[in-house]
Structure formats: C-alpha cells, structure tokens
Chain A
C-alpha cells in the first residue's frame, strides 16, 4: 500500500516509490528505491526526521507529503 512520507509511523522502514524530481533530495540519498527509516514526526506541521544509513535528515512537511513510500517488512 502506497502512502505519503508524512503519514508514516515512527520506527518503521519504508521504501521510496515515487517522489518529485528534486536535486536536494537525491543528493542526500532519497530516490525511488531507497530505504528510509522514519525517526520522528514534529507536531503542528513540522518536518519528518528520517535516517538513511548513518545520516539523519529532516524533510519539511510540504515535501514529505509529495514523497510516496511503501512499508518494508523486516
């Protein structure tokens, strides 16, 4: 089931299915097929913090909503 990155659950791992063409995302390692672990959500329209390998990255809500992911069952 595809959901957007903002509607994910903390602690789960997701695989990116589709996302806007955005250099800043690709250059930090978010691209279709990449696995991301969702670390935390910030309330009141804040960003989503994810980890990719050993990098922690925060993505603003508006952009996170445009990134489609599906859960990876470990």
Chain B
C-alpha cells in the first residue's frame, strides 16, 4: 500500500510530533492551533479517520505535526487503529497526547498503551469544562505524577490553557534527542491496563456533587427508546423542514431576484450592449447556456440556498452529539436491512457529500461493512448540491413531488441495502458505539467549520461546474449535442419518456451530480417527466471526485463497477417508473 510508504518517508525525513488521543476529544482543534491547517471537528467518534500533517516551529526547531486518527485502543481492530500503530512504529520524535477530562479512565488506558512505545510525551487534559459540568474535579498535579508526564488543563475550543501548553511543548520537545531507538514492551494485558486506569482515576477525581444540567438530562432522555424515537424523528423532520423551507424562502426572496434582476442583466449589458459580443462567443458567454448566465443561475439561485442551510443544520447536529444518538435509535431498523446503526452516521454525512462519508467508513470494523456502506452511498444517497437542485426542480411544481421522491429514495435505499448486504461477502458486526456527551456547539469552531465547508463547496463546486457549463455551451453550439441526442434517443425518449435534449443532463451529470438535474429545469416537463428525471438523477453515478475516492480507498475495479452499475441502475429504475406509470395515465 502506498500510504504505508508515504508515512515511512514522512517520518524519516521530518522531526515529527504525533497528535494522539481517543476519538472525539478535540485533537483537531489542537492541530489547527499549531499548524494553522484547518480540520473539521465534530462531536462524535471518528471525525478524523485519515491523517493530516502540518508544519510548525517550536523554539526555533521545525516540526511536522501529524493528526493521528482517534482510536480507543491500539489493537488494530480497524483501519484507523492500524494507521495509529504504523505511526508509532516509525519513530516519532514526540507525542502530544490529549486526555479527556470527562472520561479519564478511558483515556488513561489508551495513554498507557501509547506510553508503552517509550516516546517523549506531553499531555493536554481537554474538555475540562464538560468534566466540571458533570461535577468532576481532577487533581492535575497528582495525575501528572501518577502518569509520569507533564499535563496541562485545556478547553481547546475556547483556547483555554494553550499558552501553558505552548510553553511546556517548547521546553520538552526542544531538548529532544532525535530519532533515538527505543524498546517496546509487547503484549500488554488489556484487563490489567483497565484496572490500573480505574485505580488512577479513583485517586485523582473527586466529585463536587453538582446536579446534572438540562443538557445531560435531555441527553439521557434521548437514549431511552421512549421518548427518544419521538425526539429523533422530530429533530430529523425539523432539520429537513429548515433546509427545504428556509432554503426555498431564501431562494425566492433573495437569491432568485438577485440573479435574475441584477447579476445576469448586468453581464448582459456588459457583453451585449457595451462590448457587442455576438456569435458563438456571445452564446458561450451569455447565451442560453452561457457561462455568465447559468454559472450564476445554477450555482447561486439553484443550489447555494440549500447547501448553506444544510451545512448550518448539519454542523449543529454534528457538534451537539445528536448524530450517534440518532444512529442508536435506528440500529434495529438498520440491522434488519443488513447493516448496523453505527453506519448511519456516515450515511447521514453522505447527504452532505459522499467523499468524506466514504473516507469515514474507515472506522467500520469489517471490510464488508465498508464496502456495503460506500456502495450504498454511491447508489442511493444524493449529496446536498444535488438535493438542492432536485428540490428546486420538483418544488416549483408541487411539494408533493418532493415528498414522493423522498419516499422513493427511502424504498430504494432499503432495497439496495438488503441486496448489497446479501451479495457482498464477509460479515457485519453488531454495533458497538460510544455515546458522546450532548454539548451546545461552541460558536467559534462551529462557524469555522461552516465557513470551511462553504468555502470548499464554492471552490470544489465552482470549478467543475464552470467546466460543465463551458462543455454544455460548446456541445450545443457545435451541434454535437444533437448528434449525441439522436444516438441515445431510444433510451432518453423511448424508455425514459424525456425530451431528447435531456441527454445533456446525462453528459453533464458525469462531472457533478447536480448537473444531472439542472438542464431539466428549463425544459417545461410534465410531472411524470420531472419525477422520472429526478429518479434518474438521484440514482445516477456519483460525481467524478467520488469515483476518484473510491479508486483510492478500494480499487479501480470497484470504482468501475460502481460507475457503470449506477448508470445502468438509474436508467433501469427511472425507465421502469416511467413505463409503469404511463400504463395508467
């Protein structure tokens, strides 16, 4: 595997500090603090499943910090743990270990496993605010003595304790004896480690008798099947409602008038009246499929409002710790269709974008689960850009069509999950999942995350989108589209019942998902045509970047199978719906 070699080289050629700790203790916030590289953090286990690296200086020395994916142990029970072990075995120069003040026992146990590798360690005791809220007081000095390591208390999201941490890191890591070989005691007894951790925890933690607050009580309530399920369903409905409803309003009141009345007329004036561009160039710039027309129409008026609201709502769900709670409540349903509740987190993530969701499946305990969930995401989960376009397409006709599409999506999801888990060999293990504390999302990291995701949407969407727009205008201008349309007419018009120009959607949809919807908007379709088009788009292949990630995370064969599988599936199911419904109307 090339990743292994890459890591070996990285570790050999740099002075490296590993950033380690259990999942969901806020490692990513420390990473951003030191390297200024922004990482997404959330309140559930396994937000960072691949490693990140960034350079920083300490007392004049250049270091590379490596954000190692969080693990509960070092027993190589999943790919994230294997990666963590690989880093430890390749002679890091030092380790910044993040302890969780709210779960001291668990983090001490992991610390002891890491300490076994005999490296220079500095500890940050993070989430001190949560521990305090739970009525726990920790004797940091005693803990430091027990673990034989410098420890600094921190509240990372508020940058509390960072100054002291900087100083400690400086004094410890600047006098490092670089690349000293050390001996590792193998085969630790996990039971023994847990015993020691409990003893130390009991010694250093005292309880202030603080009453559980509203959040803790609500968190516990969500864990009970009743009223937990009710709350979970309400949260989901509310989230969808906000994205669809507020998105529609934002679009109608602000963005659509902005594009139609201000931006596009502005460029029309410039190109047509002032610069007097005409002919092919004029059409490419500002014609029906012109860059300056649909570049704005599609991105700003069509998709942006939904992406914006989804990212706000989803970041809240992530940071609050609600996601794992929802996953648990639906574990029984998920097991019935052949997957387990834990994978629901990655599936929900895929409603944003499939790329991080597929990388996120690295925490899956079995190969089969990884493959089933990733394939399921590619076949049936629309990303938010695509959902936005679909909502725009169907919502202008009737909200009822949106609901019908959601229902169809659900049925297709269940069927696909059943089929995939049946035909992909291997086993799926029952769920074992940690339930994080409920938190009110911290403003600063919440908005940093929101900003980072919007920025990456604009950059990642804008580029390929413009490419697709240029491709569209060239295809139409050069008359190539007509040729292609004629070729696929039996499929597009005969089988799917769509106008033959809809073949443009099939071409552009290869580049980005929402592009398989956008061309349909201007076509004056009947309700059935709209719905068929929406189904085809929903099931159509995930965008090129997803195909790239699949090749990297699995292999070329898998991504080729998914590439053609999704195209076939989309046209087959879409056409089936068209043909069957046509019989009755």
Contact = CB atoms under 8 A, between A and B. Distances in A.
Partners in one complex: yes
Given A29-B194, A40-B223, A54 B103 contact: yes
Given A24-B365, A28-B106, A41 B336 contact: no
A6 to B, nearest CB: 11
B105 A24 contact: no
B190 interface: yes
A34 B578 CA distance: 58
Contacts of A33: 191
A23 B102 CA distance: 23
Nearest to A42: B225
Interface in B321-346: 328-329, 331-332, 335-336, 340-341
Interface string B102-141: 1111100100000000000000000000000010100000
Given A45-B335, A46-B328, A49-B328, A25 B191 contact: no
Contacts of A26: 73, 75, 190
Nearest to A62: B430
A10 to B, nearest CB: 9
5 contacts: A27-B72, A46-B329, A54-B136, A60-B340, A62-B430
A31 B223 contact: no
Contact of A46 (B76, B106, B331, B435): B331
Among all A-B residue pairs, the 7 with the closest Cβ atoms: A60-B430, A27-B73, A23-B77, A63-B430, A60-B431, A56-B435, A27-B72
Interface string B37-71: 00000000000000000000000000000000001
Which of B105, B106, B109, B329 has the most chain A CB within a 10 Å cutoff?
Answer: B106
Contacts of A28: 72, 106, 432, 434
A63 B432 contact: yes
Nearest to B106: A55
A24 to B, nearest CB: 5
A22 B190 CA distance: 12
Interface in A2-18: none
B221 to A, nearest CB: 10
Interface residues of B, number: 40
Contact of B431 (A34, A56, A58): A58
B328 A58 contact: yes
Contacts of B109: 29
A59 B106 contact: no
Given A53-B198, A60-B335, A40 B432 contact: no
A69 to B, nearest CB: 16
Contact of B105 (A29, A41, A47): A29
B429 interface: yes
Interface string B426-441: 0001111111000000
Contacts of A62: 335, 430
Interface residues of A, number: 35
Nearest to B333: A44
A71 interface: no
A8 to B, nearest CB: 15
Interface of B: 71-73, 75-78, 102-106, 109, 134, 136, 190-191, 194, 198, 201, 220, 223-225, 328-329, 331-332, 335-336, 340-341, 365, 429-435
A46 B75 contact: no
A23 B75 contact: yes
B224 A40 contact: yes
Contacts of B225: 40-43, 46
B492 to A, nearest CB: 44
Contacts of A25: 432
A53 B341 CA distance: 23
A58 to B, nearest CB: 5
Nearest to A56: B435
A73 B72 CA distance: 29
Given A61-B335, A62-B430, A34 B194 contact: yes
B303 to A, nearest CB: 36
Contacts of B432: 22, 24-25, 28, 57-60, 63
Contacts of B329: 42, 46
Given A23-B76, A58-B433, 17 more contacts: A22-B429, A24-B72, A24-B432, A27-B71, A33-B191, A40-B224, A42-B225, A45-B332, A46-B331, A47-B331, A49-B435, A53-B106, A54-B102, A54-B105, A54-B134, A55-B103, A57-B433
Contacts of A24: 72, 77-78, 365, 429, 432
B105 A53 contact: yes
B131 to A, nearest CB: 9
A47 B223 contact: no
Nearest to A50: B435
Given A23-B73, A31-B191, A58-B433, A49 B223 contact: yes
Given A53-B106, A62-B430, A63-B429, A44 B332 contact: yes
B545 to A, nearest CB: 31
A53 B103 contact: yes
Contacts of B103: 53-55
Nearest to A66: B430
A66 B329 CA distance: 21
B77 A57 contact: no
A60 B218 CA distance: 22
Contacts of B224: 40
